[in-house]
Amino acid sequence: MRKLLEETLRRYEELEKLLVDPEVLADSLRLSAVAREHGSLARMAKKYRRFKQLNAQITEAMDLIEGDDYEMRELAESELPELKANREKLWEDLLDMTIGGEDANRSRCIVEIRAGTGGEEAALFARDLYEMYSHYAENQRWKREILNASPTELGGFKEISFGLEGEGVFRLLQFESGGHRVQRVPETEAMGRIHTSAATVAVMAEPEDIEVNLASDDYREDIFHASGPGGQHVNKTASAIRLTHFETGIVVQCQDEKSQHKNRAKAIRELKARIFDRKREEETKKRADERKSKIGSGDRSQRIRTYNFPQNRVTDHRINLTLYKLDSILAGNLEPVIEGLMEHERQELRNQFGKME
């Protein structure tokens, strides 16, 4: 954790210098990326810089207490409790802000929802999850943009990916990645039997342009005609874009926009996020032995949550949290679930790192 905080402060101070660099100021795209990254690191970096200053003041005060100057010793003794209390509060803030590691304070992420087992009912559940996150995003005043969607004839989604932007977006949603299961009587069920269906969610931190080098010869581009549910409503103009990254084999496509140019821009944005996410996943696996967190493992094959409609129940299996307010949660009131996950992770960090001095 000390390493993460030191690297955050180092990068923040590096970006401060770049913001007044004439070469950066002359490049509007780079300046925008630098300013955005600088802003996303500001809160943590400033708090950690203040934390280090308090540490130095506490060390100085303790040296004075051990010294021979009575007046200075008395002054230091009176100031020390407040200095330690301020440091403790900052430490708790820093603990909270580092949940999610080096991507904790990113202000952009991409969420992908895919229907799993359960056919049309799984697609309808994927739609419900999309609406749940959309309502939550509205509550948080985040910006939302659909990148790609594959709707079904009954109004569900085989898959949908969308971008979110706003303060704390990745930190709050990072633990949503994994398998989500629903138990209910499907709209397509005539006999009234309860079915179990599934969908997977992936939450990917979105990198800045300068963090992922992606040249046009790094991927293959295919252009095709977009279509609606069930392959119907084929567009007369070839505007849909599919990108295949040679090194990783990652494939993304976008067909939501009528403009080929806009679809390409969205596809490149999503491809960069997926490449960045793949690298992060590999790094997480390498560090798995150092810190095994039940909720921060990044294993998307893990079943993390069950939504039981007959009992109006939501259960998060990672922290044994059960809430009988499914209707409220699906309406976007995710705070009880997210705060439960965050508090569990805070406690793990406290147990691992204790107090930092």
The architecture in CATH of the region 102-345 reads 2-Layer Sandwich (3.30)
Give the tens place of pLDDT for each residue, 76-105: 899 999 999 999 888 888 887 777 677 777
- Does residue 54 contact residue 87 with C-beta atoms inside 8 Å? yes
**pLDDT over 90 percentage in the chain:** 49
**Predicted model pTM:** 0.74
Q: How far apart are CA 33 and CA 54, in angstroms?
A: 32
User: In CATH terms, are 2-98 and 102-345 the same topology?
Assistant: no
Residue type, 145: E
Distance of CA 132 to CAs 45, 176, 205, 326, Å? 33, 12, 19, 11
Specify burial of residue 219 (Cβ count, 10 A radius: 0-12, 13-18, 19+). Answer: buried
Per-residue pLDDT tens digits for 31-57? 988 888 888 788 889 999 999 999 999
Give 113's pLDDT tier (boundaries 50, 70, 90): very high
Q: How far is CA 146 from CA 149, 202, 337, in A?
A: 7, 15, 24
Closest by alpha carbon to 176, among 200, 206, 148? 200
Q: Enumerate the domain spans of the chain.
A: 2-98, 102-345
Look up tokens 């795209």; give the residue. Answer: 29
- 2-98 is classed in which CATH architecture? Up-down Bundle (1.20)
